[in-house]
Amino acid sequence: MKTLLIREIPDEIHDSLVLEAESNRRSKEKHALFLLETVLSRKTADTCGELLDFYESAPAPNVDVKEIDSFLATRGRRSNRP
């Protein structure tokens, strides 16, 4: 795998990259790699399997991580109803 070094990223771009990476539970480096892969690999899928592989690897859009954590924390508990 090759290495890419990017210098002089504007502060507001860096800050938004960090926030976006944290909201998707990634490091900023992994999120930048994901963004590059997403933009550069915009090719059509030849088979349904390739399309399913793409959707499986892509993060869910507009996911609120706090809601998922809250759901998972309460999962499996019994109801408090009488």
Q: Which of 1, 34, 37 is nearest to 17 (CA)?
A: 34
| % the chain with pLDDT above 70 | 90
Looking at the chain, the number of H-run helices and the number of E-run strands are: 4, 0
CA distance 54 to 46: 12
What pLDDT does residue 64 have? 78
24 class by beta-carbon count within 10 Å (0-12 exposed, 13-18 middle, 19+ buried):
middle
Q: Are 65 and 30 in contact (CB under 8 A)?
A: no
Banded model confidence at residue 8, pLDDT cuts 50, 70, 90: very high
Statement: residue 77 has pLDDT above 70: no
Domain coordinates in residue numbering, the chain: 11-74
Tokens of 36: 């590059």
* Confidence (pTM): 0.50
